[in-house]
């Protein structure tokens, strides 16, 4: 039996105990009723257990961060009380990085995270983003220097902090040179409002141009078994060359890699996966066949498919930091236990082959919201 990460505030089963995890036989609510979640808010420090660590922006952080987006929107209804419990439990377990953005819930997500930071600011590495604006029923990208400054001030207010540890450009707009954007963020660093600068969904050329203006601490991009664009397009290699951490969002493939989602019937009407090409019609049916090797590896290790998927991301390198999101205590516990799962080279190779890019059906976003990772505009001579 592998040693397990066991945050004691979460009375849920973990790998090797017979708990089926998020497999096909478990519906979303059934699993919670079966396990019985303890909803205490904080764990006494003397009873906490350590999560393995990684380095980010010169600091030691937990090997997993917590993606907070789904606590506010995109994945069904919100439950602030339950989300606050998850945030406290994550910090108790050694999760350091809390990942949010000003556009998640139109500011709600930052305010939610801010509620937890009031008493625990020193325990958290706070990452937020700007660059996606909303209004009048539409969204657009704005990475202009003026908006960067205004957005930072607004995020500081909502989070209730004096300094943001990592401030990302969520999306670059099509007209602002990345040099101008990063230059404005560098001014925020000098002003003490931001400690480190990050980018999200960019090309290798854009990353290098940005890094030439001011050191980039992290690039956040989607990385999972079924989405490996940052590997094939060279972004991960460029980040390594520059000493930049890759923060991997959606490491569970928006829940698909857990094996729990066999159809769309269990998704809320406002769940954005209903419009995601990989979760629709024939694409979903074809993609489900890819899960068999994940289940087989999980069975050999006494783990769950979700833990295998997360262990695969961790195996991509010490400079890769996954940020799985959840608003449930049992899923948090299950995810963190993946840090103790060590995949063999044969396991990784089998999973790589099973999820070869040409075997995955459907784009990772609808066309209207697909990130544009072409080179940023306005290259300076």
Strands 53-56 and 59-62: what pairing? antiparallel
Taking the C-alpha atoms of residue 277 and residue 181, their distance in angstroms, rounded to an integer, is 32
SS3 label, residue 172:
coil
Residue from 75, 104, 167, 249 carrying the catalytic annotation: 104
Residue 104 catalytic? yes
Q: Cβ-count burial of 303 within 10 angstroms (0-12 exposed, 13-18 middle, 19+ buried)?
A: buried
Cβ neighbours of residue 226 under 8 Å, at least 6 residues apart?
A: 253, 256, 257, 278, 287, 290, 355, 360
Residue among 65, 62, 51 at smallest CA distance from 3: 51
What six digits make up the tokens of 355?
Answer: 């999820």
- Tell me how many helices (H) and strands (E) the chain has: 13, 12
Taking the C-alpha atoms of residue 240 and residue 252, their distance in angstroms, rounded to an integer, is 23
Residues with active-site annotation: 104
């Amino acid at each position: 039996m592998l040693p397990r990460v066991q945050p004691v505030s979460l009375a849920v089963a973990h790998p090797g105990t017979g708990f089926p995890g998020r497999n096909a036989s478990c519906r979303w609510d059934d699993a919670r009723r079966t396990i019985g979640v303890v909803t205490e808010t904080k764990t006494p420090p003397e009873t906490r257990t350590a999560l393995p660590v990684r380095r980010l922006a010169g600091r030691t952080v937990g090997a997993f961060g917590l993606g907070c987006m789904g606590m506010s929107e995109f994945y069904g209804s919100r439950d602030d009380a339950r989300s606050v419990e998850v945030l406290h439990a994550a910090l108790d377990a050694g999760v350091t990085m809390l990942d949010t953005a000003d556009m998640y819930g139109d500011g709600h997500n930052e305010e939610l995270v801010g509620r937890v930071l009031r008493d625990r600011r020193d325990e958290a590495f706070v990452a937020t983003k700007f660059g996606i604006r909303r209004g009048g029923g539409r969204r657009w990208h704005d990475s202009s220097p003026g908006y960067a400054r205004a957005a930072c001030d607004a995020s500081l207010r909502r989070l209730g902090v004096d300094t943001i540890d990592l401030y990302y450009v969520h999306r670059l707009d099509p007209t602002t040179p990345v040099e101008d954007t990063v230059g404005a963020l560098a001014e925020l660093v000098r002003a003490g409002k931001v400690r480190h600068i990050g980018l999200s969904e960019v090309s290798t050329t854009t990353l290098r141009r940005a890094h030439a203006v001011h050191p980039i601490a992290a690039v956040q991009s989607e990385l999972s078994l079924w989405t490996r664009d940052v590997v094939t397009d060279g972004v991960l290699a460029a980040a390594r060359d520059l000493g930049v951490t890759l923060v991997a969002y959606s490491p569970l493939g928006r829940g698909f890699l857990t094996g729990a989602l066999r159809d769309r019937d269990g998704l809320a009407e406002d769940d954005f996966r209903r419009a995601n090409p990989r979760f629709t019609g024939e694409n979903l049916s074809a993609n489900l066949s890819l899960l068999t090797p994940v289940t087989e590896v999980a069975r050999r290790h006494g783990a769950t498919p979700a833990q295998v998927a997360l262990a695969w991301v961790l195996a991509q390198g010490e400079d890769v930091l996954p940020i799985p999101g959840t608003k449930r205590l049992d899923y948090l516990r299950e995810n963190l236990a993946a840090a103790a799962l060590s995949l063999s080279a044969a396991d990784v190779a089998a999973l790589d082959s099973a999820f070869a890019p040409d075997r995955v059906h459907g784009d990772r976003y609808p066309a209207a919201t697909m990130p544009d990772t072409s080179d940023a505009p306005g290259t300076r001579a």
